[in-house]
Every structure is written in C-alpha cells, then in structure tokens.
C-alpha cells in the first residue's frame, strides 16, 4: 500500500475523540507532526494515510476510515481482523 503525506490542515480535521459503546479512540498530532491514535488502555500508534480520510496502523493491520458531513469529520470506522466498529466524534467542550 502506498502512503501519502497529509497537510497540517488535513491532520487537524481528523483530530479529536471518537467513541462507541465498545471503545473510544483519540486522534492527535505529536510533537514531530505525526498523526497518532490511541485506543483506550492501548499504546499510541502512528497513523499512515492512504488518502485524506483513510489512515492505517500497518503493524496492527488496522484501518480507520473517517466520515464527514461536508468538511466536518463526524465519525471514524475502525476496521480490524476481529470486526468493524463505527465511532462518533465526541463534541469538544466549549471554553
């Protein structure tokens, strides 16, 4: 699979917390500018993008497909060998 570099704007669009009744995942950018993800109680993994809204964790054979409503990313579908889970974006608290 060929991976692409995402712009800072594309990475920012994916950042956030996503949750389902089964699991939650936080997507962020680390100090080196890498897009990363962490499932609850799991290590942090670097995400590799194959398209602006499709990311992978190659070493874990996991795919994340981000869904949107227009420009706003609203969900992510986590695809792994044990099944598929749809997670909704958790609204950020207002300051």
64: closest CA among 84, 82, 44?
84
Domains of the chain by start residue, with CATH: 8-89 (2.40.128.50)
pTM over 0.95: no
pLDDT-derived band at 92, boundaries 50, 70, 90: confident
**69 pLDDT exceeds 70?**
yes
């Amino acid at each position: 699979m060929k991976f692409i570099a995402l712009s800072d704007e594309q990475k920012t669009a994916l950042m956030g917390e996503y949750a389902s009744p089964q699991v939650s995942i936080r997507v962020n950018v680390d100090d080196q500018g890498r897009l990363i993800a962490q499932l609850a109680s799991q290590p942090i993994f670097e995400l590799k993008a194959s398209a602006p809204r499709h990311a992978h964790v190659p070493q874990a054979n996991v795919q994340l497909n981000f869904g949107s409503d227009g420009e706003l990313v609203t969900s992510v579908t986590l695809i792994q060998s044990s099944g598929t889970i749809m997670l909704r974006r958790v609204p950020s608290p207002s300051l």
